[in-house]
Amino acid sequence: MIAIIGAGKMGEALLAGMLAKGHAPGDVLVTEPRAEHARELRTRYGVEVVPGQDAAKRADTLLLALKPQDMLALLDEIGPHVGADRLVISVAAGLTTAVMESHLPAGVPVVRAMPNTPALMGQGMTAVAGGAHAGSAHLDRAEQLLGTVGEVIRVGEQHMDTVTAISGSGPAYFYFIAETMIEAGVAMGMPRATAQKLVGQTITGAAAMLAESGEHPVVLREAVTSPGGTTAAALRELERHGVRTAFTDAIEAARDRSQALSGS
């Protein structure tokens, strides 16, 4: 039995992904305190919505999808009902496995996961790291469940703050680039809808080439850049304005903020 505790956007995306990949509604419990949303979940997915303590008692895998500020209170609430034969998977940003383990009985395996928002479209990128009591079988289980909404990669927990900076926050960087490109098109007289279509598909296609070709991004960039051409002129301006350095600094700032939030 799987329990999804917290059915916000990420929790519901995981629920939908699991059911789409063959998990039966009867094998999934959901915790959702908002009565109206709980009714919607029952109607839409056919799952049982129960209180957190009931979910902890009945499920062997607990997938915690709450906001970080709510997580420790939840762990204290469900901790007495969670034994070492269970698996706790957290998708809350900024909480280390050591902190979570300190709020659970001794020996409970904990897996920390960092998904990103494209999981809502089934195109997420999630990194997982095991705590002190999590073995390969626990990580396999986490990969199986989180893989229903995209790709999963294992990392050492010491890299999770970097994961947060690159992948967790990463979609926002692309949206920022897209916004800038669209606004440039509008400033040049192009209808906004046309600019958005051009930019959206360009980013989608470029991402597909990067993911599927196996080529280094430098190779792909050079393939677009003819000597003395329009792309070369654009890239020269980006370099002149220090965009590469700005991106590096931004990612380092995100990593530092993640470390501050997690106390690492």
196/118 same-domain check: no
Number of domains in the chain: 2
Range with the lowest mean pLDDT among 14-28, 217-231, 238-252?
A: 14-28
pLDDT in tens, 88-129: 999 988 889 999 999 999 999 999 999 999 998 999 999 999
pLDDT at residue 264, as a whole number? 57
- 116 and 208 in a single domain? The answer is no
Hey, is 79 helix, strand or coil?
A: helix
Say whether both 94 and 197 belong to one domain. no
Residue 76 lies in a domain: yes
Residue 48 has pLDDT above 90, yes or no: yes
Question: Looking at residue 84, what is its pLDDT?
Answer: 95
Pair (6, 75) in one structural domain: yes
CATH number for the domain spanning 105: value is 3.40.50.720
Interior/surface letters 163-188, b for 16+ CB within 10 angstroms, e for the rest: bbbbbbbbeeeeeeebeebbeebeee
Q: Which of 156, 183, 216 is the last residue of a domain?
A: 156
Q: Answer yes or no: is 164 within a domain.
A: no
Q: Which residues pair with 125 in a beta bridge?
A: 151
Q: CA nearest 251: which of 160, 124, 163?
A: 163
Token pair listed for 251: 């990612």
Is residue 158 over pLDDT 80?
yes
Average pLDDT over residues 239-248: 98
Q: Give the mean model confidence (pLDDT) for residues 147-170.
A: 96
252 located within any domain: yes
59 pLDDT band, cuts 50/70/90, is: very high
Could you tell me if 200 and 129 lie in one domain? no
Question: DSSP for 164-208?
Answer: IIIIISHHHHHHHHHHHHHHHHHHTT--HHHHHHHHHHHHHHHHH
Q: How far is it, in rounded angstroms, from Cα 127 to Cα 114?
A: 5
Give residue 169's pLDDT band: very low, low, confident or very high (50, 70, 90): very high
Asked whether residue 181 falls in the same domain as residue 145, the answer is: no
Q: Which two tokens stand for residue 24?
A: 């039966």
Same domain? For 152 and 174 the reply is no
Average pLDDT rounded to a whole number, residues 63-91:
93
Q: Which domain holds residue 78?
A: 2-156
The whole-chain average pLDDT of the chain stands at: 95
pLDDT of residue 67: 87
State which of 130, 156, 182 marks the end of a domain. 156
Q: For 197-219, how does the pLDDT look when each residue is reduced to its tens digit (9 = 90+)?
A: 999 999 999 999 999 999 999 99
Distance CA 4, CA 7 (A): 7
Question: CATH code at 248?
Answer: 1.10.3730.10
- Judge if 98 and 124 occupy the same domain: yes
Map tokens 């199986």 to a residue.
Answer: 144
